[in-house]
A and B are shown apart, each in its own frame.
Chain A
Amino acid sequence: MTPVPLPERPDLYFIVAALLLVIGIFGLLRRRTLIGMLISGELIFSAASLNLMTFNYFKAPDPTVGQIFVLFIMGLAAAEIAIALSIIIAVYRNYRSVKTKELSELSG
């Protein structure tokens, strides 16, 4: 029996997706500026997309569904980035800072 070639093994894709998710969560917890947290959130989006694509290729009866879903994820992520960055710019204009520790007006 010949070994399965590396690109045809779903567990490798799962491990890469899990690493992306974990690095994204770690960055989200560690970063202390709004833009850094936004970048970590994008890594989590990428992890979800890679997971969906893996299931789409290896396990789904209709391989177009996952691709279309990931396409929609990309569109929504682009919209989210545009809104979040304009909010960050507005916050910077008002507070002169995007550090999460200084944006604490509502914490009493």
Chain B
Amino acid sequence: MSTFPASQMIVGGVFLMCAATTVAGALLAALTARIIRSVCGLAISCIGLAGLYYFLHSPFLALMEILIYVGAVCVTIIFAVMLAEPDEPVRDDKLGSTLLWGSFAFVVCAAVFWGLWQLGTHQDWTVPVARVSDGSIQAIGKSLLTTYSLAFELISLALLVAIIGALALARTGRDKV
């Protein structure tokens, strides 16, 4: 289909870059000692994830991922980082128990990853015979306002309750400080 054969390689390279960005940002988010770097890792991971969403033919969700996660969630976490002092404390345990629990966590995670790897690569999932819709933004908008309108309204209600709850929770105890 492509007259220019290198374009396939370029697209594959961009895809691999998005996947590597996602994983590297996640590693940064989970492993660094300073919490502000961890927030930056989460932002990098979300940008890579938005690229993967774009490759999955949903540019709307890629935009929403950047808008909500990088624009709202990471900024909110940075505000909390500035209000509290959340850096990782210095380890005061004995070295033996730290190594024991660390290796235990690593073994658990490796086992989960191995199982999911096997499931993802060796399972034959059934492929649908025909597509009902094309998954475009128009189709999403129609579904949101017809089939999923109740869930849509409930989400807005949940967000309203979350805002009021966050205000009420952060308000108490303010005059004690």
User: Which A residues fall within an 8 A CB radius of B?
Assistant: 5-7, 10-27, 29-36, 38-40, 42-43, 46, 49-50, 53-65, 67-68, 70-72, 74-83, 85-90, 92-94, 97-99, 101
Interface status of B6 (Cβ within 8 A of chain A): no
User: Which B residues fall within an 8 A CB radius of A?
Assistant: 8, 11-12, 15-16, 19, 22-23, 26-27, 29-31, 35, 38-39, 41-42, 45-46, 49, 52-53, 55-58, 60-61, 64-65, 68-69, 72-73, 76-77, 79-81, 83-89, 101-102, 105-106, 108-110, 112-113, 116-117, 119-121, 125-135, 139-140, 143-144, 148, 151, 155, 158-159, 161-163, 165-167, 169-170, 172-174, 176-177
Name the distance in Å between A1's Cβ and chain B's nearest Cβ: 15
Q: Could you tell me if A57 and B56 are in contact, using CB atoms closer than 8 angstroms?
A: yes
Q: Could you tell me if B151 and A72 are in contact, using CB atoms closer than 8 angstroms?
A: yes
Q: Could you tell me if A7 and B73 are in contact, using CB atoms closer than 8 angstroms?
A: no
Please name 26 pairs of A and B residues whose Cβ atoms are closer than 8 Å in the assembled complex, sorted by A: A6-B11, A7-B55, A15-B117, A18-B120, A19-B113, A20-B22, A23-B109, A24-B26, A35-B35, A46-B26, A59-B125, A61-B131, A61-B132, A62-B135, A63-B131, A63-B134, A75-B155, A79-B158, A79-B161, A81-B76, A85-B77, A85-B80, A88-B80, A88-B84, A89-B80, A89-B83
Q: Could you tell me if A98 and B23 are in contact, using CB atoms closer than 8 angstroms?
A: no
Q: Could you tell me if B31 and A27 are in contact, using CB atoms closer than 8 angstroms?
A: yes
Say which residue of B83, B162, B167 sits within 8 Å of A79 (CB atoms): B162
Q: Could you tell me if B144 and A68 are in contact, using CB atoms closer than 8 angstroms?
A: yes
When A27-B31, A59-B125, A64-B139 are in contact, do A90 and B169 touch as well, CB less than 8 Å? yes
When A39-B39, A61-B132 are in contact, do A78 and B173 touch as well, CB less than 8 Å? no
What is the bound-complex CA distance between A70 and B49, given in angstroms?
A: 12
Q: Could you tell me if A5 and B12 are in contact, using CB atoms closer than 8 angstroms?
A: yes
Q: A17-B120, A92-B85, A98-B85 are in contact. List 4 more A-B contacts (CB 8 A).
A: A27-B30, A39-B30, A61-B129, A77-B73
What is the bound-complex CA distance between A71 and B155, given in angstroms?
A: 10
When A7-B11, A11-B121, A43-B30 are in contact, do A67 and B174 touch as well, CB less than 8 Å? no
